[in-house]
Homo-oligomer: A and B are copies of this chain.
Amino acid sequence: MNHATIMCDMDRPIEPGHFSTCEAGLEKHIVGCCSVDFPVAAVLPAGGSGERTGLSTPKQFCTFLNRPLISYTIQTFERVPWIQSIVVVVAKESLDLMMDIVHRFHHTKVLVVHGGSTRHRSIFNGVCALSKREDGTALVKPKVVIIHDAVRPFVEEDFLLKITMAAKEQGAAGAIRPLVSTVIAATSEGYLDHSLERTKYKASEMPQGFLYDVIYKAYLSCSESDFEFGTECLHLVLRYCGTNAKLIEGPPTLWKVTYKRDLAAAESIVKGTLSESACVVAGGSKRAAELARVLQKSMGVLGMEVDVISDLIGDNAKSLSSKWNFILISMNIHSLSEVEKTLSMLEDADRALLHPVVIIWVHLKSLEDDSSVNEERAAMMDLASGAKLRNVLVYGIQLHHSKEAQLWERSVERLTEISSALIRDRTPALIGQLLQA
């Protein structure tokens, strides 16, 4: 009942900024100079109550850009081709919510199981779930298990690889980071006793990787007290299996979403990634093509890489699966049909499943064009309201073509600013507006 199919999803659009090292169809995945020719699985303990965020929802289920944090973490693991399955361990009362998330965001490698009363019991449940099905038949037991927090969504594939390879060779491996603060020991009366020499100590972070047999044996052997109070898997395998974990320094992106402010930080990272590039569709008109070129340059100055194409047909249709932002330039008041067409292409490509896509419809009016905009406005709002339900944010910008250089430059400047802000902020409240550049 509470498990989803396990399969490798090669067609999933890849996050901008991440490049798949997957060669579809190959059993062996070549990543850099290493090859992962053994089964790997991940366990994501997600049973925390998230007291520290200061929010009522546990932080792994907090939502930004229409998606709960845990789905971002799952996505990070799903797009790694050499990870076969992901066990998410949640509290009993969150099982339905978690299954709903798995279905809603089409997560295909995920198995959801319920947790135990402590972190270690939950991880052990997750580890056990990897070697048996609910009906008791055996699964392909992974060689290496990666354990990772559900609230560290930004771990990168190359680091997961390092941990995996080290775990295979050494039996266990864990991420470390330099200490941010000096660590001190306090006397029982609350006074400074001594401070630790900072260079000798490290912060132990996630992910950690283990040979399946090592972590399984450690949990089988460990005491009730370990299950109850232990915090470090690395410590357990050292104690019960004599395995000294290899420590690997990880990047700052391993950081854990802990407080409410971290959710804002996570949102800003995702928004930053989504607004790295845009695609301007200029249509057939010369004037529109000129504006597209100017926009390409001015948005480039603001750090956004802009492709200019004339349409979304043939080879150009590739943009639909690589860009998160589309600027459609049009000379024609009736050209909302272009927006509609783009919308339905995005829907066919299932593009907006994981991230909201932005469409900015730029209406370049000739000076003579003094048509009333009221009808246009209403049509735009209707269109945008419908699109929002499909996770596409549609905005409109109008500008008048002007022969007066200064006026025109001012308009283009404003067009650049507004477009950049709409793409960066992705504010749902402003959809369907016709802004003036």
Tell me which residues across on chain B come within 8 A of A195, comparing CB atoms.
Answer: 204, 231-232, 234-235
From B205, B268, B269, contact of A181 by CB (8 A):
B205
Tell me which residues across on chain B come within 8 A of A435, comparing CB atoms.
Answer: 430, 433, 435
Q: Is A92 in the interface zone, CB < 8 Å from B? A: no
CB–CB B181/A203 < 8 A: yes
Docked CA distance A180–B257 (Å): 11
Q: Is A341 in the interface zone, CB < 8 Å from B? A: no
Tell me which residues across on chain B come within 8 A of A262, comparing CB atoms.
Answer: 265
Docked CA distance A31–B111 (Å): 55
CB–CB B244/A180 < 8 A: no
From B177, B180, B245, contact of A191 by CB (8 A):
B245
CB–CB A182/B232 < 8 A: yes
Distance of A77 from chain B, by nearest CB (Å): 21
Docked CA distance A180–B198 (Å): 16
Tell me which residues across on chain B come within 8 A of A201, comparing CB atoms.
Answer: 183-186, 196
CB–CB B204/A245 < 8 A: no
**With A259-B252, A261-B268, A429-B420 in contact, is A181–B198 under 8 Å at CB?**
no
Tell me which residues across on chain B come within 8 A of A352, comparing CB atoms.
Answer: none
Docked CA distance A231–B190 (Å): 20
Q: Is A381 in the interface zone, CB < 8 Å from B? A: yes
From B192, B235, B268, B377, contact of A245 by CB (8 A):
B192
With an 8 Å Cβ cutoff, the count of chain A residues facing the other chain is 65
Q: Is A298 in the interface zone, CB < 8 Å from B? A: no
Flag A166-189 by CB within 8 Å of B: 1 or 0 each: 000010001011011111111100
Tell me which residues across on chain B come within 8 A of A269, comparing CB atoms.
Answer: 261, 264
Tell me which residues across on chain B come within 8 A of A203, comparing CB atoms.
Answer: 180-184
**With A182-B203, A421-B430 in contact, is A190–B247 under 8 Å at CB?**
yes
Q: Is A52 in the interface zone, CB < 8 Å from B? A: yes
Q: Which residue of B lies closest to A192 (CB)?
A: B245
Q: Is A202 in the interface zone, CB < 8 Å from B? A: yes
From B179, B184, B191, B261, contact of A265 by CB (8 A):
B261
Residues of chain A in range 191-221 having any CB-CB distance to chain B below 8 Å: 191-192, 195-196, 198, 200-205
Docked CA distance A255–B245 (Å): 31
From B183, B247, B261, B430, contact of A179 by CB (8 A):
B183
Q: Is A158 in the interface zone, CB < 8 Å from B? A: no
Distance of A162 from chain B, by nearest CB (Å): 12
CB–CB B256/A180 < 8 A: yes
Docked CA distance A201–B55 (Å): 27
Q: Is A246 in the interface zone, CB < 8 Å from B? A: yes
Q: Is A131 in the interface zone, CB < 8 Å from B? A: no
Q: Is A417 in the interface zone, CB < 8 Å from B? A: yes
Distance of A185 from chain B, by nearest CB (Å): 6
Distance of A158 from chain B, by nearest CB (Å): 18
Q: Is A342 in the interface zone, CB < 8 Å from B? A: no
Flag A265-295 by CB within 8 Å of B: 1 or 0 each: 1111100000000000000000000000000
Can you list 18 A-B pairs, Cβ within 8 angstroms, ordered by A? A52-B252, A170-B191, A177-B181, A183-B202, A184-B247, A186-B202, A186-B247, A190-B247, A191-B246, A195-B231, A195-B235, A255-B259, A261-B269, A262-B265, A418-B429, A427-B427, A433-B435, A433-B436
The residues of A with any CB-CB pair to B shorter than 8 Å are 52, 170, 174, 176-177, 179-187, 190-192, 195-196, 198, 200-205, 231-232, 234-235, 238, 244-248, 252, 255-256, 258-259, 261-262, 264-269, 377, 381, 414, 417-418, 420-421, 425, 427-430, 433-436
The 5 closest A-B pairs by CB, nearest first: A264-B268, A421-B429, A261-B265, A181-B203, A417-B429
